[in-house]
């Protein structure tokens, strides 16, 4: 039986691709005020209003809530910590207070809950080095207070963005092709996986009976320099870029943070790293140019509009 899934945060890299890949089961909600053409017909979140989510849940009675909504810009979070906490923590708190008992909460978190160099599994204590990472840790704790909830931590998903400029793939392509300066942090290593693979794993975990915390790991960690060179080769681009150390950055920056899993089941197996997992032919036509699929169900968006007003 198909489960009704609401997706909060459909303009994130992972959220956008979840909505594109699973249009028959997912109703996506985007950041308010979003003017990106690809997602212009998707309804907007209004989590500033504590009554909005309650009305929405009464209308749809979803089986699953996939929560990918957060402000992930580390420098902006450092500059405006109260704003970051409002969006990344208080929005989650309001949603948890109104979520129907039947709805399973799936919170998609980040490897930014860690900070020191190392390999981290689900039992590793969080050690964030940024305001952004700290807000993720608090939000995870709120979600885990609810029985039956699942927190999924992901590393660096590589793939299409809603606006064609966000995320490592589109950011690199956009700047290189417009002859804009590019700076790569040479001593950052992450678990980088193609976003389609991450989305498929997230959906399988969401539809499972797993609770608590699960990691989406990769077969190996890759440096930003190695990743940039590989993506440029797929794009057929030769480009000069500058390199900096993470310690030269104004805001706290991850070093070598590699996700692992302490579980031994099928859903814990590492996904193939981005590096070496594709040929140039596999991205022709380039996946970043694919138009998003329309919402597949006959969702009552008119009713949603009434709720939003």
Nearest to 100 by CA among 62, 71, 143: 62
Tokens, residue 72? 């992930």
Rg over CA atoms, the chain? 19
Helix (H, G, I), strand (E, B) or coil at 59: helix
Specify the CATH class of 5-308 in words: alpha beta
Residue-level pLDDT at 292: 43
Residue 6: its H or E element: strand 5-8
**CA-to-CA distance for 307 and 59, rounded, in angstroms?**
9
Query: Do β-strands 26-29 and 64-67 pair in parallel, antiparallel, or remain unpaired?
Result: unpaired
**Does pLDDT of 109 surpass 70?**
yes
* DSSP state, residue 281: G
pTM: 0.91
Residue-level pLDDT at 238: 80
**Does pLDDT of 26 surpass 70?**
yes
- Percentage of the chain beyond pLDDT 90 is 78
Tokens, residue 218? 């990769």
**CA-to-CA distance for 96 and 65, rounded, in angstroms?**
10
**Does pLDDT of 85 surpass 50?**
yes
When pLDDT is averaged across residues 108-127 and rounded to a whole number, the result is: 96
Tokens, residue 53? 């989510």
**Does pLDDT of 202 surpass 90?**
yes
CB 155 within 8 A of CB 216: yes
Helix (H, G, I), strand (E, B) or coil at 194: strand
**Does pLDDT of 284 surpass 60?**
no
Per-residue pLDDT tens digits for 221-234: 999 999 999 999 98
Per-residue pLDDT tens digits for 73-83: 999 999 999 99
CB 213 within 8 A of CB 144: yes
How confident is residue 1, by pLDDT bands cut at 50, 70 and 90? low
**CA-to-CA distance for 42 and 77, rounded, in angstroms?**
26
C-alpha 257 chain-centroid distance? 17
Residue-level pLDDT at 180: 93
Q: Omega into 108 within 30° of 0, i.e. cis?
A: no
From residue 22, give the alpha-carbon distance in Å to each of 52, 75, 204, 234.
Answer: 25, 32, 12, 26
CB 21 within 8 A of CB 200: yes
Residue-level pLDDT at 276: 67
**Does pLDDT of 260 surpass 60?**
yes
**Does pLDDT of 36 surpass 80?**
no
- Percentage of the chain beyond pLDDT 70 is 87
Query: Domain segments of the chain: what residues?
Result: 5-308
């Amino acid at each position: 039986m198909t489960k009704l899934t609401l997706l909060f945060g459909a303009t994130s890299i992972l959220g956008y691709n979840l909505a594109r890949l699973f249009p028959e089961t997912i109703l996506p909600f985007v950041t308010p005020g979003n003017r990106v053409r690809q997602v212009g017909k998707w309804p907007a979140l209004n989590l500033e209003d504590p009554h909005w989510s309650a009305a929405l849940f009464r209308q749809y009675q979803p089986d699953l809530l996939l929560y990918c909504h957060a402000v992930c810009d580390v420098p902006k979070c450092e500059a405006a910590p109260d704003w970051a906490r409002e969006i990344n923590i208080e929005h989650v708190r309001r949603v948890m207070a109104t979520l129907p008992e039947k709805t399973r909460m799936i919170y998609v978190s980040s490897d930014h809950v860690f900070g020191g160099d190392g390999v981290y599994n689900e039992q590793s204590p969080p050690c964030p080095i940024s305001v952004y990472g700290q807000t993720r840790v608090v939000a995870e704790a709120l979600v885990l207070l609810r029985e039956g909830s699942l927190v999924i931590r992901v590393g660096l998903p590589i793939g299409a963005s809603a606006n064609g400029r966000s995320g490592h793939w589109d950011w690199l392509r956009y700047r290189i092709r417009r002859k804009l300066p590019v700076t790569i942090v040479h001593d950052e290593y992450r678990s980088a996986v193609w976003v389609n693979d991450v989305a498929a794993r997230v959906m399988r975990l969401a539809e499972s009976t797993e609770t608590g915390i699960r990691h989406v790991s990769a077969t190996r960690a890759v440096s930003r320099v190695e990743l940039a060179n590989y993506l440029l080769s797929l794009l057929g681009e030769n480009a000069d870029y500058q390199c900096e150390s993470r310690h030269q950055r104004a805001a706290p920056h991850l070093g070598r943070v590699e996700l692992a899993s302490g579980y031994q089941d099928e859903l814990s197996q590492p996904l193939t790293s981005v590096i070496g997992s594709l040929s140039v032919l596999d991205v022709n036509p380039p996946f970043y140019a694919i138009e998003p699929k329309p919402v597949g169900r006959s969702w009552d968006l008119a009713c949603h509009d009434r709720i939003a007003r």
